[in-house]
Amino acid sequence: MTTRIRFGFLVALGAVAFASESSAQERSGIWIEGQVQAGGGPLANSTVTLWAASAAEPRQIAQARANSDGHFKVGSQETPGTDVSLYVVAKGGEAAANKGAGNNAATSLLAVLGNRPPAKIVVNEMTTIASVWTHAQFLSGTAIKGHALGLRIAAGNVPHFVDLQTGGWGTTIQDALNGGQTPTMANFATLADVMAGCATQVAADACNKFFAAATPPTGAAPSDTLTAAQSIARYPWYKPERLFALVAEFYPMPAGKNLRPVPFMPYLAHAPSAWVLPLKFDGGGYRAGGKAMFDSEGNLWVGDNFSTGWQGTDALWQGNATKFDPNAKPLSPITTGFTGGGMEGGTFGTAIDAKDNVWFTTYGSKAIVVFDKHGKPLTPPEGITFGGRLGLMQGIIVTPSGDVWALGVEKNQLVHFPKGELSAGRIVCEGDKEEPCKSFDAPFHLAIDQQDRIWVSNSGLPHVTRFPASDPTKAENFKTGMNNSGLNIDSQGNVWIANRFGTGLLAMAHLVDMGIRSKTEGFLAAMDYLTKTMSEQKGGAHGGSVTLLRPDGSSFPGAPFKGGGIPAPWAVAVDGNDNVWVSNFNSASSPIVQLCGMRTENCPPGFKTGEQISPPGGYVGGGLQMLTDVAVDPAGNVWAMNNWQDIGSCMGSPNEALSTRCGGQGVVIFFGMAKPVRAPQIGPAQRL
């Protein structure tokens, strides 16, 4: 039975009854004390409701009324199930920061507490923003609903932004990787300031101005602070300057002062390109991550090009394997990552099978390596090399049938493990004497479609190769841009391909030059040329592009797609809405880009397939370096893999003091921005 406790009633019972009840609360059930705040001060007489979120409709557990100091107690005798995520919504109330203004019905605040809530909490603008951005894919109004894994991941990310017990800053957002290195703290605090302007009614029309600035492209203006936050989180790219302008309007600079009288600092000095809140994470041996994949528990696995502490050069591939939990806590050893089984120099080759075994390809050992879900090697000390026959390896996938296919970029090799059996692996072909290897030139990545056909990108040719998994000799080629790398397949079987050199005569010249260098100076020298060229490219006509092929191989009208946000695309990910996410390997702060997919009903109004949803320069936000992979997790978070951070430290004779800055530092997570997908991804992405 649901128990409702109202604070005013508890006060009337007196101290003895209060003590007795407190003792009973400690023995069983859910009991939470807290304070509702607005603008840094108490929010009096707010209605506080405790909810339980799960895969079903959210269920109200208890309700209370905050007192004149904003304090409340709410609880129930029941014990929540392990698949439940608890959250609190506070509605209405009078802000102490503006006494006499009366009840503000437009105030609606949120704090997601997870399955094991703290005994004492604060509900304010900061908990609201943290909870909305992490739960954007599960939140509608005051209702949170979703699959257990996604809700668990989302709730676990809230403390990165905010301390639920104090309503102040969380640990991650202010740590050494984020606090002074990215604008995320200022983006976050600025949003909180503008929301507080409405909640405390700094002006009679403050809420109307806030809601107008938060109105999404769908045209439906929000009606309270919680729905306004959701609108901003879902359309962070849409007219961000409107909200930024409210900071100066709500908090004019006092004469003779240097800081605005805002409740939360630091605030932005310049309008952002989008209201995104990315955070950067490192550790677990991560250095220059390549391909990344999520296992069935939402953990991220990535193969590292290099290792922590080494003077990185593009000829010295000695990295291992890194594992992060769903909330980006490193689970592999801090410096080395997971080692053994032949792991040396991970590449853009990572795959996870139905047993959560993790398959890697390598450059350093020229091997295929497998770990179990705990990081224990399943392959011999030298890895699987087929007697030393393998060259530098790249893409690897697991198919729905359980087969594993891998590519050798150096020797044009195709490798097959029927049903994933290590002892049954074989080199299907290599070189240029038989199909499909005859159609390859530096094959880079691969994917399997719904018709059991495998598509292979070629970094040395302007085409992709397709063959039936049942008969690789029946290969076909389809025209693309130049220097293909990552590719992915949407729910309708369309193929999205990253063209690192783009299209046109200049792109062809780069491709020819790369081929000449490969023959005269060696494959790694050609890769160095590729890297340097990509780092100097600009978006639009002089940068990369993304090709879209229909399932029959025909080009989609308007493709390849170009833009300022796609200077040097490396990887392509498809989310649960069939929208497409692209990483770039280009500059010291490469962007990620969101493209409208084939199902335009899942795009903002007016967008067509291939059009860039993200700002013209892509999503930047902070913490990004030169990127390889981009991946969408089961909570809708978009992870970007930093691969190189200082190109001058990767080639030639670098500055001694900067000589360990070749390998990219950490992963960057953009929270709640994509429709979640099932993990591990085996075959095309599947919506959760």
pLDDT value of position 12: 33
Ranking 88-97, 306-315, 335-344 by mean pLDDT, the lowest is 306-315
pLDDT at residue 112 is higher than 60: yes
pLDDT at residue 519 is higher than 90: no
Q: Specify the higher pLDDT residue, 507 or 205.
A: 205
CB atoms under 10 Å from CB of 102, counted, come to 11
Separation of alpha carbons 594 and 237, rounded Å? 11
Buried b (16+ CB within 10 A) or exposed e, 468-503: ebeebeebbbbebbbbbbbbbbbbebbbbbbbbbbb
Q: Specify the higher pLDDT residue, 586 or 312.
A: 586
Domains, in order of start, for the chain: 1-240 (no CATH), 351-358+384-670 (2.120.10.30)
Buried b (16+ CB within 10 A) or exposed e, 321-350: bbbbebbbebbbbeebbbbbbbbbbbbbbb
Band of the pLDDT at 501, cuts 50, 70, 90?
confident
Average pLDDT score over residue span 579-588: 93
- What is the value of pTM for the model shown? 0.93
pLDDT, one tens digit per residue, over 47-90 is 999 999 999 999 999 999 999 999 999 999 988 889 999 999 99
pLDDT, one tens digit per residue, over 215-265 is 999 988 999 999 999 999 999 999 999 999 999 999 999 999 999 999 999
pLDDT at residue 279 is higher than 60: yes
Band of the pLDDT at 541, cuts 50, 70, 90?
low
Ranking 52-61, 328-337, 633-642, 643-652 by mean pLDDT, the lowest is 643-652
pLDDT value of position 652: 79
Average pLDDT score over residue span 172-183: 96
Band of the pLDDT at 508, cuts 50, 70, 90?
low
Band of the pLDDT at 647, cuts 50, 70, 90?
confident
**Cα-Cα-Cα-Cα dihedral sign, residues 513, 515, 521, 522:** positive
Separation of alpha carbons 234 and 319, rounded Å? 37
pLDDT at residue 385 is higher than 90: yes
Q: Residue 303 region, left (φ>0) first, then alpha (ψ -120 to 50), else beta?
A: beta
Q: Rounded to 5 degrees, what angle do the CA atoms 185, 186, 191 make?
A: 100
pLDDT, one tens digit per residue, over 295-311 is 999 999 999 999 999 98
Band of the pLDDT at 509, cuts 50, 70, 90?
low
3-state secondary structure string, 236-302? CCCCHHHHHHHHHHHCCCCCCCCCCCCCCCCCCCCCCCCCCCCEEECCCCCCCEEEEEECCCCCEEE
- Mean pLDDT of the residues in the chain: 92
pLDDT at residue 17 is higher than 70: no
Q: What is the residue-wise DSSP string for 505-566?
A: HHHHHHHHHHHHHHHHH-HHHHHHHHHHHHHH--SGGGS-EEEEE-TTSPBPTTPSB--TT-
pLDDT value of position 3: 35
